[in-house]
Structure 1
Amino acid sequence: MSSTDKKNSVDVQDFIDSKPVAPFQWLVLMLCFLVTAIDGLDTAAVGFIAPALRDEWGLTPAQLNPVLGAALLGLMFGAFIAGPLADRFGRKTVLAFSVLFFGGWSLAAAYTDSVETLALMRFLTGLGLGGAMPNAITLTSEYCPQRRRSLMVTSMFCGFTLGSALGGVVAAQLVPMFGWRSILLMGGILPLALLPLLILLLPESARFLVQRKASGARIARILGRIALLPADWNGSFHIQDGPHDAKTGASPIRLILGSMLRRGTLMLWTSFFMSLLIIYMMTSWLPTLIKDTGLDLSQAALISAMFQIGGTLGAIGLGASMDRLDPYRVLMVAYAAGAVFLFGIGQYYDHYTILIVCVAGMGVCVSGSQVGANALAASFYPTASRATGVSWAHGVGRIGAVTGSLGGGLMLGLGMGFDDIFTLLMLPALLAAMAIFFMGLRYRRAAAEAPVGQNAPQLS
């Protein structure tokens, strides 16, 4: 659209930025929060039911492993598949289908009678879970004003942690009374119950609709729920993605790997891979490692809980900081501080109070930074490839998650000590910090050198 055509045309992001956050936008955030909460519950479901499943079916750890890993594998493939689909067919469409998909297969998993079938059902459930999360992030980000985007996206993402934690509490009550299948039933019923609300209340992204040249009347109805459109509005809408405006017909995969975005994409992939490696290593093995130091089970559980609590607080705090300060510097410093806390865990594991502080601090810095990296990714990519960019970062991150889960067992099998393991974990934290540093170095400079109206990809 030429500058003449844009006269009195409404820029979608400028319109959102110029208005107070409306109840309609909070509704979008809350619906996506509920999706991520159920996603968190379903993702962690097998961990909750594993002991009961093992006892009922008489499984060895080796026989149980495929069931535990199937969902993670599905999450990875689901993220890679869903992103390009969402950039083609819409965020809401793919999000709703993902919720239907993982809810339906979770219900089916509750009626399985063999390890092989359950593993297959969990893989299919993971495909839906992998598609839901990145699209919830993308859709939320596209309805946030730039001044509060990071905080709103990270707050929405906290639903994942809350869902995982509440799932554990509910499982402790339901499994003894109704058996392990009740958790899978709940993991199917809840998303299917939420689905009608998503279809009826959740809007498609206005930015996506403009980019796909949808009717002005449809976009006007959506934006009209935020505030009144300007009196001199000429009936048209536009979006500004800077240098990418001329490339919106290109494949979203080609866009995120093109010359303009390639370096940022690779740096994001590095940070996602490294941080999720640490997070899943901690989630999978921290209680075992702590118990092996001589602390009792209740102390190990408390220390492990501090990691989750720290991650939630860190996500909100870092999100707010990213809106006020340079987001690249915020995440770089947080990852580097996470490496310091990892060193502290390895050196002071026999000092209970210091260990609690270091685990909580590592949760704030590493887990919180991973949530902040979601907001960074959502702001980095243009509309035409945003869902693909966020989803593929998640897909690469899931490879790191599997590496972390398997790596913990491997390091224990090699006889590595507590201090050796956590000293080694400093390396991925420092690599994540370096990736964000170099990403900021490249795109901060590009933004400064870009002509007016041609902003390079960056957090706003």
Structure 2
Amino acid sequence: MQEAASQSVDEFIDSQPVSGYQRSIIFFCFLVVALDGFDSACIGFVGPAIRAHWQLTVAALSPVFGAGLFGTMAGGILLGPVADRYGRKTVLVASVALFGLASVVSAFSPDIHFLAFMRFVTGIGLGGAMPNSITLTSEYCPGAKRSGYVTLMFCGFTIGASAGGLLTAEIVGTVGWQGILVAGGVLPLLLVPFLMGFLPESIRYLLLIDRAKSYVRVASIASRVAAPGVTVPRLRADEKVRRSPVKALFEKGVVTGTLLIWTIFFSSLLIIYLLTSWMPVLLSSAGIPLESAALISMMHQVGAALGCIWLGRQMDRFNPHRVLAWSYFVAIPIIVLCAFSGSHKALLVLSVFALGFLISGGNIGAYALVSGYYPTSSRSTGVSWANAVGRVGAALGSMAGGLMMAAGLRLQEIILVLAIPAAVATGCLCLLGIIRSHRKAGPVGEPVHSLH
């Protein structure tokens, strides 16, 4: 292979059409987040079977659900910096193996306490797998199409959650909750050898850690990215290695954006988890039959799948911060519409679908946004920690519905409260867009890179 002139990784990837090799990377990351979605959905559906198995109260079952969320937070906080130090692929494969093995072991739990512990361990694996799937996808996509491909990949979560929920509801009576957890563990374990054999390490990461030793690997990977007949240039990483990826999140000129990103994720997941966790209960308490309530709630997932694809494409075409800001802003009157829909099923279906499209779709778009905010040396940490902070909002959202119902708030009032975090997310996205526009005009070599 004849050597050509030096070229940055960004310039090289942007100059090539998206290859089948890059699409295979996106596909494998899609499968990883689909298994994450399957796990997230199935544990909710097997809850009644677990409760009946050990004759538990509803309160006694709560730690099982909470342990998974806290494990995901811990996994994101711990494994994000590890991935920036030892590689995205390394941590991604280890995380998938961990949550697969933990899910299988949890099926043989002797009591509820051991099951809660294993759900925590499962969550650690999930907390490392999802952010690194996003990071790896982002680092192999051309800048002009990055948001679209990242959001398309993340559709795996929604598809996995929908399919997992429907499948679990159908067969849990036959195979039991243990069989569901075994299936949720065996599937990722079967995927691990394929990830090890076919998923490459990030080119950007390899060049950053040791350019001389990694160049043979980089050249081999780049030759599969390049179009047929194209001579692969000597690639370079136009960045400096930072000793601490965590400190990089709080550097001068970066910390404000980090806090804004965290607030966006916190607000988004608070809305999403309050809606998805409590919508069937809230609708049933308003006199809507449980079957209809479940179907109405499912429209949120349908809206999320379509919304993330559409918003991702718009983020590639226009200013991504404005696209997401408009998404959350438009969601505010939709929240009001949902609150005042009452028993009108058509309005409820429309508003719940629209909230999935705008809020859940916008949240997935935010993953694409954050993956382009930080440099290579701290990208995995930035995505992982944003996801971890978002899980705090998810946990509060899951609890808030019950607390507000216990306080005597009606369905209308509970839904109206969601307008507050939607407005907060809108404001944060506007501010982040202003900051990014100023940063793009700054000197070359600043720690924050342009999204495109």
* Alignment partners' CA distance in 1, 2:357 and 2:137: 23
Taking a change above 3 Å as real, the CA distance of residues 141 and 256 of structure 1, as seen in their structure-2 partners, is: same
1:29 positional shift: 0.4
1:249 positional shift: 2.7
Aligned to 2:360: 367
Tell me if 1:304 matches 2:297. yes
Task: State whether residues 43 and 126 of structure 1, in contact with CA within 8 Å, keep that contact through their aligned partners in structure 2.
Answer: no
1:232 positional shift: 8.4
* Alignment partners' CA distance in 2, 1:311 and 1:424: 21
Aligned to 2:393: 400
Letter in 1 for 2:421: P
Aligned to 2:221: 222
* Alignment partners' CA distance in 1, 2:85 and 2:445: 26
Match of 1:317 among 299, 310, 314: 310
Aligned to 2:235: 237
Tell me if 1:74 matches 2:74. no
Task: State whether residues 450 and 456 of structure 1, in contact with CA within 8 Å, keep that contact through their aligned partners in structure 2.
Answer: no
* Alignment partners' CA distance in 2, 1:231 and 1:38: 38
**CA shift digits 1:350-374 (9 cap, x unpaired):** 3221111111111111000000000
Q: Please provide the CA RMSD for this pair.
A: 1.6
**CA shift digits 1:327-379 (9 cap, x unpaired):** 00000000111122111111122322111111111111100000000000001
Give the secondary structure class of the aligned counterpart of 2:372: helix
Letter in 2 for 1:351: H
Aligned to 1:346: 339
TM-score by structure 2 length? 0.96
1:122 positional shift: 0.6
Match of 2:113 among 109, 113, 116: 116
* Alignment partners' CA distance in 2, 1:13 and 1:283: 38
Give the secondary structure class of the aligned counterpart of 1:415: coil
Aligned to 1:333: 326
Give the secondary structure class of the aligned counterpart of 1:96: helix
When structure 1 is superposed on structure 2, of 285-294 and 316-325 the one drifting more is 285-294
* Alignment partners' CA distance in 2, 1:129 and 1:24: 25
Aligned to 2:427: 434
Q: Give matches, 1:50-449, under 5 Å.
A: 50-213=47-210, 214-227=213-226, 231=231, 233=233, 236-240=234-238, 245-246=239-240, 248-447=241-440, 449=441
Taking a change above 3 Å as real, the CA distance of residues 178 and 88 of structure 1, as seen in their structure-2 partners, is: same
TM-score by structure 1 length? 0.94
Tell me if 1:450 matches 2:447. no
Taking a change above 3 Å as real, the CA distance of residues 328 and 97 of structure 1, as seen in their structure-2 partners, is: same
Letter in 1 for 2:308: A
1:231 positional shift: 4.4
Taking a change above 3 Å as real, the CA distance of residues 148 and 232 of structure 1, as seen in their structure-2 partners, is: closer
* Alignment partners' CA distance in 1, 2:372 and 2:386: 13
Match of 2:21 among 8, 15, 24: 24
* Alignment partners' CA distance in 2, 1:400 and 1:451: 36
* Alignment partners' CA distance in 2, 1:446 and 1:177: 57
Letter in 1 for 2:330: A
**CA shift digits 1:96-131 (9 cap, x unpaired):** 000011011101000012000100111111100111
1:294 positional shift: 1.1
What 5-or-longer segments of structure 1 have no aligned partner?
A: 1-6
* Alignment partners' CA distance in 2, 1:39 and 1:93: 18
* Alignment partners' CA distance in 2, 1:324 and 1:453: 25
What 5-or-longer segments of structure 2 have no aligned partner?
A: none
* Alignment partners' CA distance in 2, 1:125 and 1:453: 39
* Alignment partners' CA distance in 1, 2:40 and 2:293: 22
Give the secondary structure class of the aligned counterpart of 1:350: coil
Letter in 2 for 1:321: Q
Aligned to 1:4: none
Letter in 2 for 1:385: S
Task: State whether residues 375 and 448 of structure 2, in contact with CA within 8 Å, keep that contact through their aligned partners in structure 1.
Answer: no
* Alignment partners' CA distance in 1, 2:195 and 2:282: 41
Taking a change above 3 Å as real, the CA distance of residues 141 and 232 of structure 1, as seen in their structure-2 partners, is: closer
- Identity of aligned pairs, percent? 45
* Alignment partners' CA distance in 1, 2:249 and 2:411: 39
Runs of 4+ in 1 over 4 A off after TM superposition: 228-232, 452-456
Aligned to 1:33: 30
**CA shift digits 1:159-181 (9 cap, x unpaired):** 01111111112212321112110
1:396 positional shift: 0.2
1:27 positional shift: 0.3
Task: State whether residues 443 and 457 of structure 1, in contact with CA within 8 Å, keep that contact through their aligned partners in structure 2.
Answer: no
Letter in 2 for 1:322: M
Count of residues in correspondence between the two structures: 447
